[in-house]
């Protein structure tokens, strides 16, 4: 059952294209998880790394132990963004998601409407763009 708990893109035009990219990358995420045993990637890590590069974009993945998938689509022209920066962005997302889980007004499985979460994502996106 794969539906987005939260999806956000900057700039907002062509939003549908990003939605579609994120959706198709879910298959790659599942592939990576099931190939964990044989793959060279450290199977104990939550960060999945680069899922697949396209002409204009790079897609990164991260899956928590609670089977929640985080997908990040970054412009290929943004060469300044290094692997450890992507990792720390995923950590921030994971930490904020954990806080959302502990919010009594959040029902697990619903779309995330927390303004605190929104704010964290906005500040991350501003830093990168």
Partner 1 sequence: MADEALFLLLHNEMVSGVYKSAEQGEVENGRCITKLENMGFRVGQGLIERFTKDTARFKDELDIMKFICKDFWTTVFKKQIDNLRTNHQGIYVLQDNKFRLLTQMSAGKQYLEHASKYLAFTCGLIRGGLSNLGIKSIVTAEVSSMPACKLTSYFLTNVFSSYLSGLVVFVSCFCYLEDI
Among 46, 74, 81, 128, binds partner 1 (CB under 8 A): 46
Under 8 Å between Cβ of 41 and 75:
no
Residue 30 binds partner 1 (CB under 8 A): no
Half-sphere exposure of 64 (CA within 13 A, CB side): 13
Q: How many CB atoms lie within 10 A of CB 71?
A: 22
Tokens of 114: 């927390």
Q: Are 26 and 51 in contact (CB under 8 A)?
A: no
66 near partner 1 (CB under 8 A): yes
- Considering the rule CB under 8 A, would residue 31 count as an interface residue with partner 1? no
- The only residue of 12, 40, 55, 67 in contact with partner 1, by rule CB under 8 A: 67
Is the backbone peptide bond immediately before 11 cis, with ω within 30 degrees of 0? yes
- Interface region with partner 1, contact rule CB under 8 A, candidates 8-16, 20-28, 63-71, 75-83: 63-71
39 is a contact residue toward partner 1 (CB under 8 A): no
Choice between 52 and 106, CB closer to partner 1:
106
45 binds partner 1 (CB under 8 A): yes
Under the criterion CB under 8 A, does residue 34 sit at the interface with partner 1? no
* Closest to 116 (Cα-Cα) out of 128, 129, 98: 98
The residues that touch partner 1, with contacts defined as CB under 8 A, are: 36, 43-46, 63-67, 94-95, 97-98, 101-102, 108
């Amino acid at each position: 059952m794969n539906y987005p708990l939260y999806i956000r893109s900057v700039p907002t035009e062509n939003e549908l294209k990003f939605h579609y990219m994120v959706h198709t990358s879910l298959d790659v995420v599942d592939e990576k998880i099931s190939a964990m045993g044989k793959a060279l990637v450290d199977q104990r890590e939550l960060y999945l790394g680069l899922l697949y590069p396209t002409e204009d974009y790079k897609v990164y993945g991260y899956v928590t132990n609670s089977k929640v998938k985080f997908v990040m689509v970054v412009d290929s022209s943004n060469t300044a963004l290094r692997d450890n920066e992507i990792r720390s962005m995923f950590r921030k997302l994971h930490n904020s998601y954990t806080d959302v889980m502990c919010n009594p007004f959040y029902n697990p499985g619903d779309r995330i409407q927390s303004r605190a979460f929104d704010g964290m994502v906005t500040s991350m996106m501003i830093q990168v763009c």
